Every structure is written in C-alpha cells, then in structure tokens.
Amino acid sequence: MLPRPPRALRVVVIGAGMAGILAGIRLAEAGFSDYVIFEKSARVGGTWRENTYPGIACDVPAHLYTYSFAPNPDWSQTFAPGAEIQAYFERVASQYQVMPHIRFNAEITRCEFVQGRWQLTLADGTRAVGDVVIGASGVLHHPNMPELAGLADFAGASFHSAQWNHQVPLDAQRVGVIGTGSTAIQITSALVPRAAHYTLFQRTPQWVMAIENPLYSPAQRAEFARDPEQIAAIRAAANTLMVDFVSNAVIDADSPGMKSIERRCQQNLEHSVADPILRERLRPNYRAACKRLVFSTDFYAKLQQPHAALVTSGIERMEARGVRTADGVLHELDVLVLATGFRADRFVRPTRVLGREGLDLDTVWAERPTAYLSLSVPGFPNFFLLNGPNGPVGNFSLIRIAELQLDYVLQLLAQLRAGTYREISASAAAASAFEAARIEAAKKSIWATGCKSW
C-alpha cells in the first residue's frame, strides 16, 4: 500500500473547562494549531464556573489539582477554594493563548460523521466542521433535580447548589439543604455559622474523612515562587498519598489501605460526635469510600451547633412554609438548597453524536456509557473523550487523569496527521475486551460492596 500524504487536521474541542483548556494548550504545543474550542457558556472554567456555592473548595490537594506544566505558587491553602481555582483556569487559558481559539456561547447540539469529517451543528443553527472531535465537556454540570412534590408552593427561595442565587440573603435566615454529598457537606461548614437555623436533610449518611486545611503563609508562597522545586515536592507527596492511600486502596476492597480508610472514618465519627443517638443517625450502613469519600475539617462540629439539625425522616412534600417530612413535622425555612448532585452519566450528551453510518451514541450508551480506555467508542472515528465513561476515578485529581488521556489522544492524532490512518476508533473487539476486564476488576473494588453512588 502506498503511504498516504500528511494531512492538515482541524480539531474541534467541546467545552472550555479544565480538560478543554488543557486540550488547547497541548494541541498547540504538538503543532495542531488549527483548533477551536466550543464553549456553551460565556466563560471558561467548567464546573468551577458553574459551582459558586458558599464553602466551595477542591478536596484534592491544590498543588496536585494543578496542570503539571503550570504550577501555581499562589494557592492560599492546602485545599484551594473554588474561586481561586476558577481564577487559575482563567489565568492559564490567557497565558497559554487559548482564549483566541474559544468560541463562547456556542453550544454544540449535534456532531455527525459524514464522509470522513465531523459536521457540527450549534444551538443557534450555525454549522462547523472538524476532522477530529475531542469531547471535553466534563462530568459534573447537569444538575440532578429532585422531584419534590409541591416545590412550586414553597414561598421561600429554592435553587440547586450549582445554580446558586447570590441575590438571596443567607445571614440570620432559616436555611435547609438537601443532600449529604461533598457539596452539601461543604455548604454545611460554610452556612451553619451564618444561618439563624440550619437543617440538613439526609437520605443516606456519608463516611467523612477528617482533614486539616492549613493556609500557606505569604513567606511560604514567596518561597514557592522562588523555588518551584518545593512545589514539585509537595505535588509528588500529594500524588503518592492520593495514589497509595486512596486510589490503590479503593480498587481492592480487602486491601490494608481500605481497612485504614475505614478505620479513620470510623474514628472520626466516634471521636467527633458526642451524642450517641446523633452518631448512629450519621453512621452509614455501607463501607467507607463506596460512595466517593467526603473530606471535611469540621462537618460534624458544625452539625452539632445548637441551631443546626439533622433530619433523617424522608421528605414528603414542600409547602409554602417549608419541608414536610414523613413523620409529619414541618421544617420551616426561608431558603432551601438542593445539593442533590449531577447527572454524571451524561458525558458529552445531550449533544447528539452520530458516528459511522448514522450510529447514534445515545443508542450505543442506552444500557450504560462505555468507551475503550474511557477515550474511544467503536464506530465513532476520530472522536475522543476526556474524562469519559469510567475515566473519573474516586478521589483522584481529574487533571492528572485528563493529562494522561490527552497524551494518548495526541499519539493517535500524530498518526492521523502523518497519514498512517485516516480514521481511528477502538475496534469492537478491543472495546468489549476492555469492558469485560473493567467489569471483572470492578468486582474487587470498594464500589462493588453495596452502595449507590454517582
């Protein structure tokens, strides 16, 4: 077979969050200068742009939740607040000249593979075309809205945690929060001190790992700026900790690491909650880290404040004055926050993606979303996902994961550019072998020990 000539590639990236910005930077570095990032919103930042709730922070150590090539000496503390992370992504996107490549307020509604190229349709009806599509649309941005009877009757303010209404006063108000995920736990820490009365509506208790979150002093930060090796050392230590202590532990439910996590969560509950009745109401009946581990400096302490209450009776309905629970009690509220999580199984959807011969991604994913190495779906050539199905794992840094995945995608793009191949996607055989191996491996993991988690 004659070698094919090298080929100029137009690369389309969906989403200007953490992974999309990363894709832009690394594409340009690798010489793929003809790229465009379509962003549905008016700003970069993805989940950090959308989530602005009080107390928002990243529970991955800040120096690890940072691009490997763009260390940040200015992180204010071990676990950075959300606004700092958002500012970091905006700064990096500008510094690395990604911004001119982004089309804002440009939501892609349809991608269709026609005669070897991806034809894209935007929400405003305009069209675009690309040889390669990189889906970097994130995981945690489609709010999971609970179906609460009577929600419209509630006379106070109500909103999802990812759609925070900053006009609504919180100080000295009666605030209720539904949920006990990382979001609700962080909101609890931030709002108990401000609310007149605080109510946490818990459907399922969470194991909580105690952490400390010390500030970096101005002197330390100056030192980091002067000597980046110090940042590298913190990053390496955090990486080792997260890999050894969390990632390698959760993939084997019987590992000593898992036992250690469980012990620490149990100790936190025993030592931090004085009232034995409250302690039992907060005790999960599944194993720690089966749901993604929650980290907190002070959740239990805040919940034991006299004006804070834990409600475990199921929510029956909303009424004008508050939440009526199954035990008949009306919990009167001024503000109700729905910290009820995200539709984490959406990935690139609701964008309609049609591959070879009209193959519909929604149909392929009808049972569950799958992708070879979380990156590539058979029948969808030159279409790659970052943090795709099974990509985001437990409590690890999604930045590190996206960087590794992008390294792999860039190797594939190099083959397309060189003309070695015109179309690349996982073969059906490779994808099903990978999925079978993944299912087998998951059986040993803590996630298969009996809990429901996103």
Residues 193-252 close enough to bind ligand NAP by CB under 6 A: 203-204
Residues 174-193 close enough to bind ligand NAP by CB under 6 A: 178-184, 186
**Least distance in Å: CB of 41 to ligand NAP?**
18
**Contact between 57 and ligand NAP (CB under 6 A)?**
yes
Nearer to ligand NAP, 55 or 381 (CB): 55
Nearer to ligand NAP, 73 or 146 (CB): 146
- What is the amino acid identity at position 254? D
Name which of 388, 422, 382, 428 is nearest 405 in CA terms.
388
Q: Return the residue matching tokens 């709730």.
A: 53
Name which of 426, 424, 391, 372 is nearest 132 in CA terms.
424
DSSP string, 97-164: T-GGGEESS--EEEEEEETTEEEEEETTS-EEEESEEEE---SS-SB-----TTGGG--SEEEEGGG-
Q: Determine whether 263 is exposed, middle or buried from the number of CB atoms within 10 Å of its CB (0-12, 13-18, 19+).
A: exposed
Nearer to ligand NAP, 134 or 339 (CB): 339
Q: Tell me the chain's radius of gyration from C-alpha atoms.
A: 23
Nearer to ligand NAP, 92 or 162 (CB): 162
CA distances in angstroms from 90 to 16, 87, 99, 229, listed in the order given: 10, 5, 9, 24
**Least distance in Å: CB of 396 to ligand NAP?**
10
Nearer to ligand NAP, 52 or 420 (CB): 52
**Contact between 339 and ligand NAP (CB under 6 A)?**
yes
**Contact between 50 and ligand NAP (CB under 6 A)?**
no
Residues 130-159 close enough to bind ligand NAP by CB under 6 A: 140, 146
**Least distance in Å: CB of 187 to ligand NAP?**
9
Name which of 253, 279, 277, 278 is nearest 267 in CA terms.
279
Nearer to ligand NAP, 156 or 181 (CB): 181
**Least distance in Å: CB of 99 to ligand NAP?**
25
Return residues touching ligand NAP (CB under 6 A): 57-60, 140, 146, 178-184, 186, 203-204, 292, 315, 339-342, 452, 454
